[in-house]
Structure formats: C-alpha cells, structure tokens
Amino acid sequence: MSEVLYTATATTIGGLEGRVQSDDHVIDFETSLPGSPKSEDSEATNPEQLFAAAYATCFDSALQIVADKEQIEFQSEVTANVSLLEDGEGYKLAVNLQIKGDNIETSRLQELVQKANEIWPYSESKKATMEFTLEVQ
C-alpha cells in the first residue's frame, strides 16, 4: 500500500457557473464557462485554467527533482496550454507543456524533461485520456 504524502481537498458548488473553494480557502474562485457573460464581467476561473496551473506546477517540480538528483542548477519555466476538445464522442483535453530553462544547454534540458516526464505523477494518466505534447524551447 502506498503512503499518503498529501491530500488536497476542494469543493465546487454550481459547476461552471458557481464557485470552487479549497478546504483551507487558499483557492476561492467564482467559476464560469469560458466566453460566457459571467466570465467577461468577473474574475471567474474555469477548470481548464485550474488544470493548467496544476499541470505546469507539478511538471516543473518533477523537473527540478530530476535536476537536483543530477546536481544541476538552473531556472526553469513551464507553461501549460490546456484545450478542451470535442471529438463527436465526447470531450477530452489536449495539453501542451512548453519548457524553458535559463543557464542550461537545450540538449541537457531535453534530457531532464524526458526524465521528469517518466517520474511525473500524471505520466500514465495522460497517455490514455488526452492529447499531450512536450515542447522544449
């Protein structure tokens, strides 16, 4: 059995036209459908934005873990582009991660990105359920 290291809890009420809140209130946002009047008139977020933030943060963390193990210091930046797709059978996500690194050669960064992708907790789930690309810049 795996050891639980951390559990995050968030509750939403009202779906895309409601509110989402974490149990510690760090996350406390109105939610809205992208392009809806509510999204244009408020600071509401949507699941894709939240997912992009989580994906970018988690991948960057995995990248830094790999770099630390190899005793490589550099500044990384990960941008997640999350798209909601409809393919006639339903909805799915497409995720493109753009990875940049300061003070590191591109070829070395590419190696670290591949290693990070292997240890990253989301690695297996993304293969079956979404379109996924990594782009080292």
122: exposed, middle or buried (C-beta count within 10 Å: 0-12, 13-18, 19+)? middle
Looking at every residue in the chain, the average pLDDT score rounds to 90
**Predicted pLDDT of residue 123:** 65
Q: Which residue blocks in 10-105 are alpha helix, DSSP H?
A: 37-41, 47-69
| pLDDT of 75 higher than 70 | yes
Domains of the chain (ranges, CATH numbers):
10-41 (no CATH), 47-136 (3.30.300.20)
Q: Are 122 and 55 in contact (CB under 8 A)?
A: yes
The pTM for the full model equals: 0.87
**Predicted pLDDT of residue 125:** 62
What confidence tens digit (pLDDT) does each residue in 15-60 have? 999 999 999 999 999 999 888 888 777 789 999 999 999 999 999 9
Higher pLDDT, 128 or 131: 131
**Predicted pLDDT of residue 20:** 96
